[in-house]
Structure 1
Amino acid sequence: MSLKDKAKKIDFGALPSASPEMVESSLPRPKTAPGMMMSRAADQRSDITRENNELKDKVAELETAAARAAELQDELAAWGDAKATRLLDPKTVTWSKWANRDEANFSTQEFAEFKDEIASAGGNVQPIKVRPIKPDGEVQYEIVFGHRRHRACLEQGLPVLALVDNIDEVELFVQMDRENRSRKDLSPWEQGKMYLQALDSGLFPSHRKLADFVGVHFTQIGKVLSIARLPKIVIDAFVSPLDLQVRWAKPLAELYETDRVTLTARASKAKELGPDRSPKAVLDLLMGTAASPSSGKRTEDITLKRDGKPAAVIRSDAKGNTMVSFTAEALPHSKLKDLSRLIEEFLSRK
């Protein structure tokens, strides 16, 4: 039988497959002791190199992670003082007892337009600031600043965007005062009432100390305090207390100190000027500089004649002031003393 015929009879599928161990065992092995030692050393070097490379990869990964962690720490430090904002139900937010917005502020055309802006934006874009007071209560927050924005959202039925922060009473007062003065100047009346309440409650020991905290000159605080300390009947003489101006504080306060009876009597008459009375008209009445009711308009001139020629004219202005002017011919300088005696005699008559 030929080799070819013998090969055809062999069943190669029944032969066992070669395993790695068999393959490895089939490789030539060193026959001498030094050769075997060199082979083992080569294997160990290969294992060490592989482990070395794995360690290098891990070290590189750790260095990358450490660098990223440092970047994140820097970013976190940059936002360390930042506070998160959140949408609150305005019904869970209450006014601060230091709130310095008079109710008259919320019935103006300006506030109506402000509410329209809030509504068109879907809420307040600039957040208000609050502090937590009763986490589980119906009212959970107290306003630090942003009373107008809160009121607008409340009346529009919109959630109010708010910044929540834990601060004490003094810091609340200072932040409210500074924010309101920088955003929309309060009227002297509102500012004065706020400062007066802080002093009366003992939040600050003196108005100089108050000035130091809020960063306002103490003389300015003194002026608005003078308005806030005016009696209610004087404040009510104006259509709105918001009409009171800082420059009126001193004369009104001085008149109140020197002649309270007269000032009070004049204040009670202010409403007779009607609901459309101007702040200036009320001030003139209170200070006694207003024209009398009978001289509300300028009267006709009275001309005095001598020998058929005009010699003098008597005229009154709208404020009730009366003036007499003479021609040079009718009243030469030599007769001025005679005229003054006649006028004094006239004025002395009852």
Structure 2
Amino acid sequence: MSKSIRHLMARPAPELAPDTPSSTPSTTSPPLPAGNPPSPRRTAAARSFGAAWQAQEQARAAADAERDGSVVELDPEICDPSAIADRVPDTTDAAFDAFVEQIRQEGQRSPALVRPKPGEPGRYEIAYGRRRHRAARLLGRPLRAIVRPLSDTELIIAQGSENLARADLSYIERAHFARNMVQAGVARDVIAKAMGLQASHLSSLLTVADAIPAPVLATIGPAPRIGRPNWLTLADRIKAAAPERIDEALAAPNLAGKTSDERFAAVLAALTTTPKAAGRPRAETLKDAKGLKFARVERSTAGVRVTTDEASEPGFGDYLAGRLPELLAAYRAGKA
């Protein structure tokens, strides 16, 4: 967590001067806090260290807030998630089930961060702590939270800083978060600051997010073990596949009960496998009592084709064509 966000969480809410009229806090984005951009080539060890440091700083800031008495208990029904989603829903998330059980037994260890919701007195908007909020609703417990009057930019940076410290946010969820911010009209420099990214890395995330249609993402879910190369491969398969083939892959019955990673693998396999070529029409040669060929019948899913042999039975084709209305009437009468 950045120094500015830690300070933001720990500071008391500002008080209005006696001669200052009461007003709703502005949500206009202030200038971004100064700071050096992250290195574009952080090693895995550096990223791990950075995430651990941020988690430690967040815990320390939360402890400070707890001592200051600024942690409150809120009815989860009056708390709304940030308008910019960073999670991809997954009904098979066993980790969330374990998270809920942990809160059931041990209570909510760290508070969420919320702000009074602009334009809706008595309601709050969650900067981070969506899973804690969801767990509180399921358990019928209050949400422990720090309330701060955050601007729109401060809300986004706090949400992004929290994401950096979470190991369970998958690659596609980060890409999804970045794209949602772009679609909400957030400036790219603010997004990069919120996510701790260089502009090139942000563009890479957005490229993947834009290449995966919403129905595909909704079906697969967060896929925690799937990284950028595999998502790019899936994007290529989607681009090359016919829409009906994509729909068929997403509706496959074998997806039921699979984990998110397994659903990814199944959809990728369905779009990678070459479709079976349409079978050749079944053909039958018709012969008379003497063994002479007089017609050929070809059956396919599109219909039946009859070709008469004019060499062995001249005029039969015209005769057959002239009798077709009569044959159709007899056929229909037989079905009545």
Using structure 2 for the length normalisation, give the TM-score: 0.52
- Higher helix proportion (structure 1 or 2): 1
Partner residue of 2:152?
A: 169
- 1:227 and 2:213 aligned: no
* Cα gap change, 1:272 to 1:183, in 2 (>3 Å): closer
Partner residue of 1:99?
A: 85
* Cα gap change, 1:292 to 1:245, in 2 (>3 Å): farther
- Larger radius of gyration between Structure 1 and Structure 2: 1
Structure 1 residue 134: deviation in Å?
A: 6.4
* Cα gap change, 1:113 to 1:211, in 2 (>3 Å): same
Query: Matches of residues 199-278 of structure 1 in structure 2 within 5 Å?
Result: 199-204=182-187, 206=188, 210-229=191-210, 230-235=212-217, 238-240=219-221, 242=223, 245-256=227-238, 259=240, 262-270=241-249, 271-272=251-252, 274-276=254-256, 278=262
Structure 1 residue 156: deviation in Å?
A: 0.7
Query: Matches of residues 242-321 of structure 1 in structure 2 within 5 Å?
Result: 242=223, 245-256=227-238, 259=240, 262-270=241-249, 271-272=251-252, 274-276=254-256, 278=262, 279-286=264-271, 288-289=272-273
Partner residue of 1:124?
A: 108
Whether the 8 Å CA contact 2:114–2:145 is kept in 1: the answer is yes
Using structure 1 for the length normalisation, give the TM-score: 0.50
Large movers: runs of 4+ above 6 Å: 290-293
Structure 2 regions of 5+ residues with no counterpart? 1-9, 13-63, 278-336
Partner residue of 1:112?
A: 97
Separation in 2, partners of 1:90, 1:216 = 32
Separation in 1, partners of 2:233, 2:89 = 26
Structure 1 regions of 5+ residues with no counterpart? 1-78, 294-350
% identical aligned pairs: 26
Q: Which has the higher contact order (CA 8 A, sep 6+)?
A: 2
Whether the 8 Å CA contact 2:75–2:143 is kept in 1: the answer is yes
Q: How big is each residue's C-alpha offset from its partner over 1:84-113, in whole Å with a ceiling of 9 and x where there is no partner?
A: 2112222221111013223326x5222122
User: Which one-letter code corresponds to 2:252 in the other structure?
Assistant: E
Whether the 8 Å CA contact 1:102–1:190 is kept in 2: the answer is yes
* Cα gap change, 1:265 to 1:235, in 2 (>3 Å): farther
What is the aligned-residue RMSD (CA, Å)?
Answer: 3.2
Separation in 2, partners of 1:274, 1:95 = 33
Whether the 8 Å CA contact 2:161–2:194 is kept in 1: the answer is no
* Cα gap change, 1:231 to 1:101, in 2 (>3 Å): closer
Q: How big is each residue's C-alpha offset from its partner over 1:51-75, in whole Å with a ceiling of 9 and x where there is no partner?
A: xxxxxxxxxxxxxxxxxxxxxxxxx
**Aligned residue pair count:** 205
